[in-house]
């Protein structure tokens, strides 16, 4: 295997799980999360192997940004070709955190895609306000406003559950 491809495979293996966790919160189900991660890795692969382009400074950050942008872009196209279903798709295996995850996922689903992306970047990926703004192409103020609005919305949806999560 060429060194370049070997390096990429090693990177992809290292980042697949964190990317998947972000994707799961963004998408709300396992299948779409897998699809989003694979699409993200494909885009990073192309950039990674682009001739005459400088190496990616921060591959992990680049992949995370690609993931979020791909998600937002896909959401903009969704309404034209996706149908809502009464039964949610498979959410993957159930574990001790499944209830919390499903509740959180349902609450996140109430948010606008961009708000969801702001929360995932800020609170799962621990990205600063300024960096979140840069990655999403919006102002820092917009990141703060969207965070506040989205958290308020989460609280109203989760209600006591959110307090339980925090206090547990």
Binding-site ranges for other proteins (CB under 8 A) = 1-2, 5, 8-9, 12-13, 16-17, 19-21, 24-25, 30, 33-34, 37-46, 49, 51-52, 92, 95-97, 100-101, 104, 119-120, 122-124, 126, 147-148, 151, 154, 162, 165-166
Which one, 46 or 84, has the nearer CB to other proteins? 46
Separation between Cα atoms, residue 155 and residue 12, nearest integer Å: 35
72 vs 151 by CB, closer to other proteins? 151
Smallest distance, Å, CB 108 to other proteins? 10
Name the residue among 30, 26, 16 with its Cα closest to residue 71: 26
**Which residue, chain included where needed, has tokens 């006591």?**
160
Provide the minimum distance between the beta carbon of 90 and other proteins in the complex, in angstroms, as a whole number.
13
Q: Are residues 106 and 157 in contact, defined by beta-carbon separation less than 8 angstroms?
A: yes
Nearer to other proteins, 19 or 84 (CB): 19
The minimum distance between CB 164 and other proteins, in angstroms, equals 10
Closest approach of Cβ 41 to other proteins, in Å?
A: 3
C-alpha of 129 from chain center = 16
110: exposed, middle or buried (Cβ count in 10 Å: 0-12, 13-18, 19+): middle
With CA atoms as reference, report the closest residue to 8 among 52, 44, 34, 38.
44
Q: Closer to other proteins by CB, 1 or 84: give it.
A: 1
């Amino acid at each position: 295997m060429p060194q370049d491809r070997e390096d990429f495979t090693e990177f992809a293996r290292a980042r697949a799980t964190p990317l998947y966790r972000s994707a799961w919160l963004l998408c709300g189900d396992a299948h779409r999360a897998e699809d989003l991660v694979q699409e993200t890795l494909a885009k990073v692969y192309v950039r990674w192997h682009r001739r005459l382009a400088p190496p990616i400074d921060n591959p992990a950050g680049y992949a995370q940004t690609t993931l979020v942008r791909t998600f937002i872009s896909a959401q903009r196209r969704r309404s034209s070709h996706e149908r809502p279903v009464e039964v949610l798709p498979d959410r993957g295996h159930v574990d001790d955190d499944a209830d919390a995850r499903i509740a959180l996922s349902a609450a996140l689903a109430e948010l606008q895609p961009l708000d969801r992306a702001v929360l995932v970047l800020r609170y799962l990926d621990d990205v600063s306000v300024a960096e979140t703004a840069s990655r999403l192409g919006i102002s820092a103020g917009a990141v703060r406003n969207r965070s506040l609005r989205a958290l308020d919305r989460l609280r109203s949806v989760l209600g006591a559950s959110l307090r339980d999560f925090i206090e547990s």
